Structure 1
Amino acid sequence: MYTYMLFQAAMSSRRVVVFPSSAELGPVLARLVCDRAQTALNAGRSQFTLGLSGGSLVSLLSKELPAQPGLDCSKWVVGFCDERVVPFDDPESTYGLYKNQLFSKINIPENSILAIDHTLPVEECAEDYARKLNQVSSNEDVPVFDVLLLGMGPDGHTCSLFPNHPLLQETQKTIAPISDSPKPPPCRVTMTLPVVNAARCVVFVSTGGSKAPVLKEILEGGEGPALPAARVAPSQGELLWLVDEPAAASLALQVERPGPGARL
């Protein structure tokens, strides 16, 4: 019953938007982030809060965000949806990748980038990072991000929330440690589902034909326990899936196919 309710909630609020390729998807994603930033600041909030994920999103955002006309990130605060507990110069460090490829190209203040302390043991690292993310919305029990950008693995995992892992049931912690990740490196910290589902806007980006089977299961429902990405259903916010044609190849549901220059 719980799985069915999650699936119905996600269906009621989500948009599935399909692009011919990531080349067409990237500029729309960048415009979406900038538009939501302007919306947040126009609403009187002092900052725009953005949660980043790694993988292909790093190169996509690093190419498209700096190309946005009049980009001003001076009131942005950036956190990470999950992070590997490795030094920042390690190729597995999501912060390190963004620092090298994106942050040097935009005018975001260094103290507005919330990074983990990778020198701490994983449990302490998670507690320390949870304290940092509480700066995002100090009046809330759970940090409320304006936008979270998520990826999805071929197994249906998102953040560092993996299928059948006990962290899927976590309701108290906002940031949780994981020391037995099925994907290396084993030690990570991750946002939990309460934080993800508190966001004002959650955007999944999924590309490539290898994602087609699991994307169909997540978006159209499948037997058995809901995969981690299927458990993302923002209670008050938007849920958008931005995918390319190869990833969407098996979908039977109704989707949007915007034209060039579209805004979402």
Structure 2
Amino acid sequence: MSGRQVLVHADAALLAQAAAARLITALVDAQSARGTAHAVLTGGRNGNALLAALAAHPARDAVDWAHVHLWWGDERYLPAGDPERNAVQAAAFLAAVRPLGARVHAMPADDGSSAEEGAVRYAAELAAAAGPGEPLPVFDVLLLGVGPDAHVASLFPGHPGVRQSGGTVLPVHDSPKPPPTRLSLTLPALNTARQAWLLAAGADKADAVALALTDPGPDTAPASAVAGTERTLWFLDEAAAGKLA
């Protein structure tokens, strides 16, 4: 896959700090070029570690947060405030940047309506932030954690959602990883980002990383099918990179 770069750091903490520093630069560059920046956040241990490092970074406020839109690649379809929701786990980071004006677009929570309705609402929110007639804003940076099965967002190997070729947001039912109901950006939506950054740390990710980097296709390793239109970065620690040739 053209434009892909693999960056290996000594451990998970250094990975998070390095990615946070790069993200600050990427957002500042986007704002310099276009005035407003759009970033897609991810949860999980690596995504949350990156956000914690970003919140604490001394150069954090080099970003004009009043002109940043923060989106989510996926979310557990649980009631608002549930500690398993990605947006709740990112609360400390959001508390640091919201007062600076960051526009946070959390995915809908389970309020008794269906996940299908939640997907429609988030797709409409994305379209409202896009240019006329466009379904999505152009994401400057897309962050994705890579699961031990090589899933990204809530797109799982062999699961029907990974084959969806249209639309921007889909409901996910019977997820192989709990909870069973989720919302996720579609693979075509993920692949509109200028830069796609995939994060993996820990020996439990080594098999998934090695598999995905052989490009077996989305049904086998959804992570292998994600690419930025300008740049694709894989942020690994030494343990996650341990099975690369």
Say if 1:156 and 1:214, in contact at 8 Å, map to a contact too. yes
1:121 and 2:110 matched: no
Say if 2:129 and 2:136, in contact at 8 Å, map to a contact too. no
2:32 counterpart (42, 62, 74): 42
Name the structure 2 match of 1:259.
none
1:193 counterpart (187, 193, 208): 187
1:250 and 2:239 matched: no
Name the structure 2 match of 1:86.
78
Gaps of 5+ in 2: none
- Pairwise mapping of residues 23-172 of structure 1 onto structure 2 (< 5 A)? 23-43=13-33, 45-56=34-45, 57-69=47-59, 71=61, 72=63, 73-99=65-91, 101-106=92-97, 107-109=99-101, 112-118=103-109, 119=111, 120-139=113-132, 140-172=134-166
Mapped to 2, the partners of 1:77 and 1:206 lie a distance apart of 24
Residues 44-63 of structure 1, C-alpha deviations (whole Å, 9 max, x = no match): x2311111111111133223
Mapped to 1, the partners of 2:154 and 2:118 lie a distance apart of 15
Name the structure 2 match of 1:6.
none
2:11 counterpart (21, 27, 34): 21
Residues 239-259 of structure 1, C-alpha deviations (whole Å, 9 max, x = no match): 00000000101111xxxxxxx
TM-score, normalised on structure 2? 0.91
1:219 alignment partner AA: L
Mapped to 1, the partners of 2:48 and 2:107 lie a distance apart of 18
Mapped to 2, the partners of 1:36 and 1:137 lie a distance apart of 20
Mapped to 1, the partners of 2:135 and 2:118 lie a distance apart of 20
Aligned residues: 238
SS class of match (2:87): helix
Residues 102-137 of structure 1, C-alpha deviations (whole Å, 9 max, x = no match): 111224436x11122321310000000111122342
Pairwise CA distance, 1:221: 4.3
1:46 alignment partner AA: G
Mapped to 2, the partners of 1:138 and 1:113 lie a distance apart of 18
2:3 alignment partner AA: S
Say if 2:116 and 2:171, in contact at 8 Å, map to a contact too. yes
SS class of match (2:233): strand
Mapped to 1, the partners of 2:215 and 2:181 lie a distance apart of 31
Of 15-24 and 87-96, the range deviating more from structure 2:
87-96
- Pairwise mapping of residues 202-217 of structure 1 onto structure 2 (< 5 A)? 202-217=196-211
- Structural RMSD (CA): 1.8
Name the structure 2 match of 1:220.
214
Mapped to 1, the partners of 2:139 and 2:156 lie a distance apart of 22
TM-score, normalised on structure 1? 0.84
Of 142-151 and 123-132, the range deviating more from structure 2:
142-151
Gaps of 5+ in 1: 1-9, 253-264
Identity score, percent: 34
Mapped to 2, the partners of 1:193 and 1:35 lie a distance apart of 26
Mapped to 1, the partners of 2:222 and 2:60 lie a distance apart of 37
Residues 14-46 of structure 1, C-alpha deviations (whole Å, 9 max, x = no match): 000000002221221111111111111111x23
Bigger relative contact order, structure 1 or 2, given CA contacts below 8 A and separation 6+? Answer: 1
Change (3 A) 1:153 1:142: same
